[in-house]
Amino acid sequence: MTEKFLIGTYTKKTSQGIYGVTLDSEQASLSPVWLVAKSEKPAYLQVLNNHLYSVKQIGDEGGVASYALQGDQAELLKTNLSVVAPPAYVAVDQARSLLYSANYHAGTVTVYHINDDQSLTQTDEVKHSGVTGPRPEQDNPHAHYADLTPDHRLVVCDLGLDQTIVYDVSENGQLTFVSTYQHEAGFGTRHLTFSPDGKVAYVLGELSSQLEVLKYDANTGSFEHLQTIKTIPDDWTAHNGAAAIHISSDGKYVYTSNRGENTLAVFAVQADSTVKHIQSISTEGDFPRDFDLSKNEDFLVASNQESDNLTLYDRDPETGLLTLLQKDVACPEPVCVKQW
């Protein structure tokens, strides 16, 4: 049995754009990568119904683009660009035919309507402001993530403000502020994931290398603190930036990546929804920015941006633990991994 993953990349060195890789579950191995679509800086991707939505850059303009996935290739359909740095994250709202982007450099969250021809029409944009954190990276608001809550609000992580912000979304793509959760100074809010029942959010702090567990109240669209735990050892003193976070579909295990320690950290979810660290395993490369689980969650594919390689692990669904299967799968500047 085989399945494919898409790999988004930076294009600062040798990468030409978006790549594909095939996982053969019987052989427990990854194929060599191939070029799916030429593109400049497609650093984050989302896939829905044989369509690919990607961060896009052309020269001095940045924005988002839509592609049709056909066989092992992607055909560019439409782009929506402006004179701004490309966003850091894109998300798709299938029910309302909307696309969201979080722009790290501009500190903005933008909403687009996805038209029938896959063109994108902007419906709203919110620019963040406020008191930023104490770390050098927190010079301005930096929206790093914008995606749906389980109850179809929009939740945004702003690394510069140390905030997780919730908005209501109208059917025509207008945002209305609901709540702000203020993390501790220097947390550096980057990405989050929800428990399958939608009652708990696991929020990753890039700058603090911490995982924060928050109770989510769907009635008020607000968060309440349950736990803060490090993603790296207490005695780690070198630089580290936490990057990606995912949860297993049964809600039992949370996974995060560490750029610096160059590990995946595994946490077991306890009865009270807090987590316990149970494993840290090398990514066999440098600067692991992203990873994703296979469809049956028996495998995990990680990407190492600086060492230009992918790594494959076996995942035990009972214990949540990872075992290295394959390393040194060449891929230029990989920064995003998505099931295809």
Q: Residue 241's pLDDT is what?
A: 98
- Per-residue pLDDT band for 89 (boundaries 50, 70, 90) equals very high
Whole-number pLDDT of residue 181: 98
User: What's the domain range around 259?
Assistant: 94-339
Contact, 284 vs 327, CB < 8 A?
yes
pLDDT at residue 94 in the model: 97
> 118 is written with which tokens?
């896959």
- Note whether residue 11 is domain-resident: no
274: buried, middle or exposed (CB in 10 Å: 19+, 13-18, 0-12)?
A: middle
Residue 60 lies in a domain: no
| Residue 40 pLDDT level (bands cut at 50, 70, 90) | very high
User: Are the C-beta atoms of 140 and 84 separated by less than 8 Å?
Assistant: no
Q: Are 76 and 65 contacting, i.e. CB atoms less than 8 angstroms apart?
A: yes
Residue 218 included in any domain: yes
Summarize pLDDT for 235-270 with one digit per residue, the tens.
999 999 999 999 999 999 999 999 999 999 999 999
Residue 149: inside a domain, yes or no? yes
Instruction: With respect to residue 163, please indicate whether it lies within any of the assigned structural domains.
Output: yes
Task: Kindly report, residue by residue over 100-113, the tens digit of the pLDDT.
Answer: 999 999 999 999 99
Residue 102 bridge partners (DSSP): 89, 109
What does the pLDDT read at residue 96?
Answer: 98
Number of domains in the chain: 1
Residues 6+ apart with CB under 8 A from 271: none
Residue 93 confidence (pLDDT): 98
pLDDT digits (tens, 9 = 90+) for 133-178: 999 999 999 999 999 999 999 999 999 999 999 999 999 999 999 9
Share of the chain above pLDDT 90, in %: 100
CATH code of 253's domain: 2.130.10.10
Residue 337 tokens, joined: 């991994």
pLDDT value at residue 154: 99
**What's the alpha-carbon Rg for the chain, to the nearest Å?**
19
- pLDDT above 70: percentage of residues in the chain: 100
Q: Is residue 76 part of a domain?
A: no
Look at residue 87 and tell me if it is in a domain. no
CA 210-211-212 angle, to 5 degrees, is: 115
What amino acid occupies position 14? T
Band of residue 329 on the pLDDT scale cut at 50, 70, 90: very high
- Please give the structure tokens belonging to residue 15: 């990468």
**306, 20, 91, 288: CA torsion to nearest 10:** -20
Nearest CA-CA partner of 168 in 181, 156, 160, 157: 156
Give residue 321's pLDDT band: very low, low, confident or very high (50, 70, 90): very high
Span 214-239, pLDDT tens digits: 999 999 999 999 999 999 999 999 99
Arithmetic mean of pLDDT over the chain: 98
Compute the distance between CA of residue 330 and CA of residue 324 in angstroms, rounded to an integer. Answer: 16
Q: Which of 235, 231, 234 is nearest to 213 (CA)?
A: 231
Whether 7 maps to a domain, the answer reads no
Pairwise CA distance, residues 142 & 219, whole Å: 27
The secondary structure of the chain, three-state, reads: CEEEEEEEECCCCCCCEEEEEEEECCCCEECCCEEEEECECCCCEEEECCEEEEEEEECCEEEEEEEEEECCEEEEEEEEEECCCCCCEEEEECCCCEEEEEECCCCEEEEEEECCCCCEEEEEEEECCCCCCCCHHHCCCCEEEEEECCCCCEEEEECCCCEEEEEEECCCCCEEEEEEEECCCCCCEEEEEECCCCCEEEEEECCCCEEEEEEEECCCCEEEEEEEEECCCCCCCCCCEEEEEEECCCCCEEEEEEECCCEEEEEEECCCCCEEEEEEEECCCCCEEEEEECCCCCEEEEEECCCCEEEEEEECCCCCCEEEEEEEEECCCEEEEEEC
